[in-house]
Structure 1
Amino acid sequence: MTVFPTACAVVALVAATPALAQTPSQDDLAALVRQQAAEIAALKARLDRLEGAQAAAPAEAVPPVALASAPQQVITPPFAPQLVSPGPAERDIGRARDANASGVTTEWGAGLPVFRSADGVFTYKPRGRILTDVSSTFGSRYAGRNITTTGMRALRLGLEGGVGTHFFYQFESDFSENEVDIVTAFIGWRNRLGKIGDYDVRAGHLFNDRSFEGSTGSDSTPFMERTVVATAIIPQRGFYGIGIMPRVFWKSGHASLTVTGDRVDGNQANSDSRTVLGRVHWNPIKTDRGVLHLGAWGFDEALASSATALTRNTVIGGRFNGALRVSTGALTGGTGTTGYGVEVGGYVGPLWLMGEAGRREARLDGGRPDFVSTAWSVSGGWFLTGDLPPYNPRLGSFGQPRVLKSIFDGGPGAIELTARYEDLDYTNLLTGGRGWAATVGANWYLNSFIRFQFNVAHWNTDNRAGAYTGPDDGQTVGTRIAVTF
């Protein structure tokens, strides 16, 4: 109905003014546009009346299939100018339609999406963790230790991805100390080993594969801080180093070998220290409801001439109380270290138990005897809600739990009770101290990537150097809110 009058108007206008067929004036075009606008307004009013009548009719009178399949007609009068450009919503819909047409898929996992190309060759996923802690210490005979503090145990952002079935990469930065700190950053290659299993090789800034909790990420430890085995029997460079790590996996375990220099730094004026580290774990028993875990590891470290200080101040009752440490006292003149340890544990149903022990020998210059430090721990947990412990049989460490009934699905989440005893001995050194801690805790996992933690530790220290010497004990209460994605 709209097109016919408009066509008649055009014919009449051309017939009345032959010259117009060649060069229509601005007034003629404006009159034509006004006429078309009036016709569109009349048509819109008629459509509004028809839609009002349909809305007032009984529901069964409107066939839903017909409405869903009826195409929408867009009427564009000739010569009509584009008066309104697409808005943000229309542009977003267009981009989504283009992405869908390209075959890109999105899968929602632990809090963030995983993007895959249509052919499955390219994958990409954002990563991150937010661990917020509050701790309060009391009962010490030193007022300087009885403090309440807050801190970010981890504040990370990163990404991971892959190309094809073999190439993969990962990068993460941490901002927990209000500074940018590069943590995991590597590229890797993986493939099958026939019927044996598979392997991967990673190169870059690598996280240590050392001890059970030392190989567990800070967002997956059952307590707010790792055991003293993980924090004290460790290379001088810490948990990270730049190098290469091949790993081999089979049905009941894995083995890794790591060769690294220092961690990421800005010092290129001196040689790096060199660290060689290996670990193997084996699950001689592995069922759907239980695992027996056995593990062993060791490292050897040759220190650079610029890294001879071996002083240690190790966490014993809480990470965010700098006055509460077990100390070696000042120790310089180190030439290298050698450390090793064992792991024994496992789980049956919702109950888990893990024991670790380690020894570190620091070589000193000038013919002095080695400095030997030892540490051991026993820890366990029980999931009251019947969930299985988050044991990762591929890596021999803890990971993120699989919560049976998330609170977001109307369930209670996963509730775990934990307990641990740990002991650290630096007394082989004249200035070295000793300490132990007994910790009980509770973890409430809202779902697989959100949790609350609560720890109460009774600690005892006997330092021979520093501001807080002699026997001392007290309690530290800590809480954490953690989100991992």
Structure 2
Amino acid sequence: MSTKSSLVAGSALGVALALSLGVAAQAQDTTTTWRGAPQFANESLTFKVRGRVYVDTVFQDVDRTGTGVDFKASNTRLRTARLGVEGTWNANWAYKAEASISSGGGTTQWEDLTLEYKPDETTSFIVGNFKTVSLEDITSSRYNTMMERGAFNDFINAGRVMNVQVKKTGFNWTAAVAVSGDSLNSADVATNAATGSRETFGYNGRVTYAPVMTDYTTVHVGGWYRYRNRGDQANFTYQVRNNTNYGVRYVSTGAVGVSDKTIGLEGVLLHKNFSLQGEYARITAERANKAADVDLNAYYVTASVFLTGETRRYEAARGEFNRTRILNPVTAGGMGALEAAIRYDSTDLTDLKGVATAGKYTAWTAGLNWYPFSYVRFQANYTKSKNDNPTVLTGTNAQLNDVDVNTFQLRAQFDF
């Protein structure tokens, strides 16, 4: 299922869609509406260009015990820049194609690349490169509270892969199952490998339910399950960053998993301008050569409050968050929205014995967000994290692998 992809194809797709709209417009009147960018529509087709840009400045202070070298680092970087198209054909078909150029060598890759068929309002069949599990992972980074999704997201490694998904939705619930392969951005599996040529394969499912939905209070609960098998590719690695996309990882199992099973739980409480969100995941990893399975755990809890009275916009029929409506945007003479947040993360890899970096990660993050209007946001995050790793040494040398990391980062973002 994995293929080598050229972004030229994405440009060609956008041109083709634009041309098809132009041809259709000869027979039907075309209207233009504003949805962060112009959206063109006629009786049978819609077309919109979409994108986002995040620019970050990061300051990091790394303190290592024992003989490890302490250091400070800083960097201004392009966190991500994306460009794509989206739209619909009639009421039954929808498409999305988006590519990104990120920092760290200017890596270019596909993001969402999907085709969706909806035979009715409650049923969807989706094929393409996209995400399927975890509330924070599925919700766009444009709408998540903190600058980064955090250690939990890094741990479960539930990014975009090729999926065939069936999804049912109701007024306050969702249920979806999918068969998955590898990421569209991964290289083709070698056809002459002595060990075989099977790519990663798996399946997953997610259900959500909102038992409380009033004018002032919303409660979300959800759960998901995922099975993966690496096939003939590299073993799975379970690791975490320090609540930032910048820098290296100090807690990691190394490449140990040949297959794994993950159970995830989600919970959200929204009351007026207050939000409380958390998730838990347990991964049972099967190792090679009949080594004992290991159970790895992670969770986070995030609390936030809009000091200017806004409410996070939760969509129960999708099981995810959407764009917050700003009550008094600067474009209408107001001050925009101000949001304060705090987050706690914990990831425990210590069930894997004998690996010096298979430790425990904990962190506190404080955040402040300013939304001048709905499509622009400025963020500041400060994270104090601890990477407590095991070691074969004892006594005064028992903590030689521990690393404390303090990270302060700023972001300017806009999307359309």
TM-score, L = length of structure 2: 0.84
Q: Displacement, 1:483? A: 0.9
In the alignment, structure 1 residue 470 sits paired with structure 2 residue 386: no
Match of residue 125, structure 2, among 201, 205, 209: 201
Q: 1:303 aligns with which of 206, 215, 230?
A: 230
Q: 1:414 to 1:191 in 2, by over 3 A?
A: farther
Within 5 A, what are the aligned runs for 1:193-232? 198-206=122-130, 208-232=131-155
Q: Please say which of residues 216-225 and 139-148 is displaced more in the overlay.
A: 139-148
Structure 2 match to 1:455? 381
Asked whether the equivalents of residues 326 and 434 of structure 1 are also in contact (C-alpha less than 8 Å), the reply is yes
1:399 aligns with 2:322: yes
Contact 1:169 1:188 in 2 (8 A): yes
Find the partner of 1:369 among 281, 284, 292. Answer: 292
Q: 1:257 to 1:144 in 2, by over 3 A?
A: farther
Q: Does 1:266 align with 2:187?
A: yes
Rounded Cα–Cα distance in structure 2 between residues aligned with 1:165 and 1:427: 50
Displacement, 1:318? 1.9
1:130 paired to 2:70: no
Alignment CA distance shift 1:227-1:139 (3 Å)? closer
Identity over aligned residues, as a percent? 27
SS at match of 2:154: helix
Kindly state the Cα deviation for residue 253 of structure 1 after the two structures are TM-superposed. Answer: 1.2
Tell me the distance in 2 between the aligned counterparts of 1:106 and 1:401: 23
1:83-232 mapped onto 2 (5 Å cutoff): 103-110=29-36, 112-117=37-42, 120-138=43-61, 140-141=63-64, 143=69, 145-177=71-103, 178-192=106-120, 198-206=122-130, 208-232=131-155
Cα-to-partner distance string for 1:414-469 (whole Å, 9 max, x where unaligned): 1100001110111111211211000111111111111001101111112348xx95
For the pair 1:290 / 2:180, whether they are aligned, the reply is no
Q: TM-score, normalised by structure 1?
A: 0.73
Are the counterparts in 1 of residues 149 and 243 from structure 2 also a CA contact under 8 Å? Answer: no
Which of these two proteins has the greater Rg computed from alpha carbons?
A: 1
CA distance in 2, matches of 1:319, 1:114: 32
How far did residue 380 of structure 1 move?
0.9
Q: What is the alpha-carbon distance in structure 2 between the residues aligned to residue 353 and residue 374 of structure 1?
A: 21
Aligned counterparts of 2:223 and 2:327: Cα–Cα separation in 1: 32
The alpha carbon displacement at 1:317 in A equals 3.6
- Structure 2 unaligned runs (5+)? 1-21, 192-196, 392-398
Which letter does structure 2 place at the counterpart of 1:242?
Answer: M
Higher share of residues assigned strand? 2
Q: CA deviation at 1:209?
A: 2.1
Q: Distance in 1 between matches of 2:58 and 2:69?
A: 16
Q: Which residue of 1 aligns with 2:279?
A: 356
Report the 3-state secondary structure (helix = DSSP H, G, I; strand = E; otherwise coil) of the residue aligned with 2:188: coil
Whether the 8 Å contact between 2:84 and 2:99 is mirrored in structure 1 is: yes
Q: Distance in 2 between matches of 1:174 and 1:373?
A: 31
Secondary structure, counterpart of 1:312 in structure 2: strand
Amino acid in structure 1 at the alignment position of 2:174: H
Runs of 4+ in 1 over 6 A off after TM superposition: none
Equivalents in 2 of 1:441, 1:469: separation in Å? 31
1:399 shift after superposition: 2.1
The range that moved more, 147-156 or 279-288, is: 147-156
**CA RMSD across the alignment:** 2.1
How far did residue 392 of structure 1 move? 2.6
Measured in 1, the distance between the counterparts of 2:142 and 2:48 equals 18
- Tell me which amino acid in the other structure corresponds to 2:170: W
- Which of 250, 261, 284 aligns to 2:170? It is 250
Paired position in structure 1 for 2:308: 385
Counterpart residue identity of residue 352, structure 2: L
Q: Decide which structure has greater helix share.
A: 1
The letter of the residue matching 1:364 is R
Contact 1:214 1:231 in 2 (8 A): no
Paired position in structure 2 for 1:481: 412
